[in-house]
Amino acid sequence: MEIKCDKCNSIYNINSSKIPVKGAYVKCKKCQNRFFIQNKPEKVEKNTEGAKKAPGKNIHEQNQENEFSSGVKDIVCPKCSRRQPDIHDKCFNCGFDYKHSKSKSNGKFFSSNSIVDKFSELSPKKKVVASSGILSIGVVCLAGLYLLVSIGLPWLSGERRSIPVNEDSYTQTQYNQAFVAWLKKNLWQDYQDFGHQSPQWDSKVKKVLDKYAMYRLGYYDDELGYDIQSDLQNIINSGCNDPRLFYILGNVLFRNGGDIQRAEAIVSTSLSYLEQSAYPAFYKYFAANKLIRIYEKNGYDDNELLDPLYEKKCDILL
């Protein structure tokens, strides 16, 4: 069985019989990435050579059974209604010429599995239900076509109609401004009430918290995220061990797709510090939840790691 690392695309061949039925986690020898593989048993080709004659059956019957079991489509003879594989030119029961019938219908010959045959086999009540369903699909398609013509084409051509705005309208820009202002206020207030303060770094903390409030909008994930990482690392290097700052650093590392192993260590440290601090309990919930997401990103499935974190989340909620 061939598997490929989803990180560095290295390819390995392993014996599928050694993989559990539910699958397993493996580690790439090249990049040490840990990823999950599923058990896909190798297909075994059937031995079709020298098919043995079944006891008590003649050669003609044995060949018919082989034809039916080979996956060939079945047809029903329109003359004698005998079901048989569509591999002969004539019906083996009445001798009806399929080739002649196909040429008259431009080569189209409906099998017993066709939509027409399926529909004809339905009861009158089910035919009404099926017809209603087909009609409903047609109505939906026509409605979609109307919307495409009346709304989609003008939008694609640049003729966009703006939503009416009046003095009482609350815009997305206003919401963003209110959200950032609220987050700046609360982040700074919580730091003043519960954080590790010092005149050496307080002004720097205020600036980085303001940047983080903007970052939470989701519009500046890359550029602003790297600035926050750099500022926070300088603050921590100067001696600040505030647990919320550790959490923010780990969260930005994780969201920006940085060093996941480093993000794991930083968020774990943040959770440990938060449990010993006076910060509100919901901050501990955020840290525990973030650590679970990091473990899942790294492919950990160890209950000894995950269960205590889930228990902490439940305890905080209760």
148-177 pLDDT, tens digit each: 777 666 666 665 566 666 767 778 888 888
More confident position, 265 or 172: 265
pLDDT tens, residue by residue, 270-312: 998 998 999 998 898 888 888 888 888 877 777 777 788 888 7
For 23-60, how does the pLDDT look when each residue is reduced to its tens digit (9 = 90+)? 777 778 888 787 777 776 554 444 444 444 445 545 54
| Tens digit of each residue's pLDDT (9 = 90 or more) over 105-140 | 444 444 445 566 666 667 766 767 777 778 888 888
Tokens of 311: 């228990």
pTM to 2 decimals?
Answer: 0.47
The stretch 254-261 carries a mean pLDDT of 81
The neighbour count for residue 245, using CB atoms within 10 Å, is 26
